[in-house]
């Protein structure tokens, strides 16, 4: 992620999607509008409602809007999520999936002082479309590890650590069993590490990591891993810090970046105005850091922290009774 302000005005693709996606997007944008940064929002349609209206869940125009923007904010899709978000990631070659795991006060976080970033390879590993095949007596899935993609993600993780004052990067793999593919991943990790002598390194097996995330989560700073392991560990991370209403994420490519809450369209609470907007707001903060607006990001982050610390204006998922917009107003008042 870049560290200094890059432009005077930013073009942001906004794809609210379905259900609470629309509600939390409106909330996040209303805070962005208080930050004294010029944003030019270009709205794109996608998701279940879009499919019903237009016959496609992800219109070409929406992809174009995302392509032409400095960054994209994405709310949530419903049943069409796979056709929308997975397709956007592929089309835009968003190779890095970033999931911060951070404990905030007055949440269901299991521990205090957790603050690490999971950097997950997003294009290969076990998750390649059409690589699964039925055989005579079962099925086979292929796991692909290329030097190019793994070096790119590992370098991204080290660079992230460097730019964000993190002192250590942990590689997670299973090289004792997957000797060739994860053997290569581990080898590349230590090659790339030589370019970052100021950053400490360690590597763990994925099964051990699953345990360490529970027994010593505060010791992690940046985790870099392959696609499937990253998928599983990042949900474990979400469980550690308690609740979908608080978990943001980023998908980063060479020329495109998309920031989304991890939760879906939540049909059970959609339309009631009670969704927690903080996951979407934290995603917007990741976007601010990506475009180099770090000061605004810090300010926004501090305002959210204050509202959580005070614990007076919280949505139902955090044990409160405030509405989406009441939480949003409280955050704005703390800017
Ligand atoms: P979900 O994340 O929408 O909801 C799971 C539970 O968490 C629900 O009880 C919901 O009310 C609660 N929840 C989620 N976000 C919340 C928030 N911000 N504030 C308060 N409570 C919140 O996942 P679910 O129910 O499995 O899927 C619902 C729909 O969303 C499905 O159609 C699914 O395909 C889609 N989905 C889309 C995703 C995306 O667009 N990236 C990701 C996950 C699911
Ligand atoms: Mg997942």
Phi-psi region of 38 (alpha: psi -120 to 50; beta: other; left: phi over 0): beta
pLDDT at 304: 98
pLDDT in tens, 255-288: 899 999 989 999 999 999 999 999 999 999 999 9
Is the C-beta atom of 276 inside 6 A of ligand 1?
A: yes
pLDDT at 3: 47
> What is the spatial distance between Cα 31 and Cα 113, in angstroms, rounded to a whole number?
26
Helix (H) or strand (E) holding 200: strand 200-205
Ligand 1 atom closest to the CA of 276, numbered from 1? 19
- For residue 316 the two structure tokens come to 């139902």
Altogether, the residues listed in the chain come to a count of 335
Is the C-beta atom of 263 inside 6 A of ligand 1?
A: yes
- Residue carrying the six token digits 């692909």: 144
pLDDT in tens, 211-261: 999 999 999 999 999 999 999 999 899 999 988 899 999 999 998 999 999
Spans of the chain, pLDDT less than 70? 1-6
Whole-number Å distance, alpha carbon 227 to ligand 2 midpoint, is 10
* CB < 8 Å & 24+ apart, contacts of 6-9: 6/291, 6/292, 7/70, 7/291, 8/38, 9/38, 9/39, 9/40
Angle made by CA atoms 303, 307, 310, in degrees to the nearest 5: 135
Ligand 1 atom closest to the CA of 261, numbered from 1? 41
pLDDT at 335: 95
> What is the spatial distance between Cα 305 and Cα 293, in angstroms, rounded to a whole number?
18
Ligand 1 atom closest to the CA of 80, numbered from 1? 34
pTM over 0.75: yes
Name the residue with the closest Cα to ligand 1, atom 25.
266
Q: Please tell us whether the domain made up of 110-240 is placed in CATH 3.40.718.10.
A: yes
> What is the spatial distance between Cα 67 and Cα 130, in angstroms, rounded to a whole number?
25
Closest CA to 107 of 243, 213, 215: 243
- For residue 118 the two structure tokens come to 């999971």
Is the C-beta atom of 76 inside 6 A of ligand 1?
A: yes
pLDDT at 86: 84
- The CATH superfamily assigned to 1-94+245-335 is Isopropylmalate Dehydrogenase (3.40.718.10)
Is the C-beta atom of 97 inside 6 A of ligand 1?
A: no
pLDDT at 4: 55
Closest CA to 241 of 294, 306, 308: 308
pLDDT at 5: 61
Count Cα atoms within 13 angstroms, Cβ side, for 289.
19
- For residue 169 the two structure tokens come to 């990067």
User: Which of 52, 239, 265, 328 to mutate to test ligand 1, by most ligand atoms within 8 A of the CB atom?
Assistant: 265
> What is the spatial distance between Cα 37 and Cα 321, in angstroms, rounded to a whole number?
32
Is the C-beta atom of 81 inside 6 A of ligand 1?
A: yes
pLDDT at 6: 65
Is the C-beta atom of 237 inside 6 A of ligand 1?
A: no
pLDDT at 7: 79
- For residue 126 the two structure tokens come to 């076990």
Sketch the domain layout of the chain as residue ranges. Answer: 1-94+245-335, 110-240
pLDDT at 132: 87
- Tell me if domain 1-94+245-335 and domain 110-240 are identical in fold: yes
């Amino acid at each position: 992620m870049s560290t200094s302000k890059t432009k005077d005005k930013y073009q942001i693709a906004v794809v609210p999607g379905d259900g609470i996606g629309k509600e939390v997007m409106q909330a996040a944008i209303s805070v962005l509008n208080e930050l004294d940064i010029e944003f030019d929002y270009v709205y794109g349609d996608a998701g279940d409602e879009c499919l019903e209206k237009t016959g496609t869940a992800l219109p070409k125009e929406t992809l174009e809007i995302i392509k032409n923007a400095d960054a994209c904010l994405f709310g949530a899709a419903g049943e069409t999520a796979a056709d929308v978000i997975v397709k956007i990631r592929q089309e835009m070659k968003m190779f890095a999936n970033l999931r911060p795991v951070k404990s905030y006060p007055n949440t269901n976080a299991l521990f205090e002082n957790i603050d690490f970033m999971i950097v997950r390879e997003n294009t290969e590993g076990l998750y390649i479309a059409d690589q699964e095949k039925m055989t005579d007596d079962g099925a086979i899935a292929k796991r692909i590890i290329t030097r190019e993609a793994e070096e790119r993600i590992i370098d991204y993780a080290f660079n992230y650590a460097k730019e964000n004052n993190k002192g250590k990067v942990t590689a997670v793999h299973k090289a004792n069993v997957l000797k060739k593919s994860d053997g290569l991943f581990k080898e590349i990790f230590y090659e790339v590490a030589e370019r970052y002598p100021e950053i400490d390194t360690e590597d763990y097996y994925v099964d051990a990591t699953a345990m360490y995330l529970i027994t010593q989560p505060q010791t992690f700073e940046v985790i870099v891993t392959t696609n499937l392991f990253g998928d599983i560990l990042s949900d474990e991370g979400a469980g550690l810090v308690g609740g979908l209403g608080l978990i943001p994420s980023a998908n980063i490519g060479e020329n495109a970046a998309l920031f989304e809450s991890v939760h879906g369209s939540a049909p059970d609470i959609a339309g009631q105005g009670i969704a927690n907007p903080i996951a979407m707001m934290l995603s917007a903060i990741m976007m601010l850091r990506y475009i180099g607006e770090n000061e605004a990001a810090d300010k926004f982050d501090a305002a959210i922290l204050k509202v959580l610390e005070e614990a007076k204006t919280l949505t139902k998922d955090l044990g409160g009774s405030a509405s989406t917009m009441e939480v949003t107003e409280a955050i704005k008042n703390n800017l």
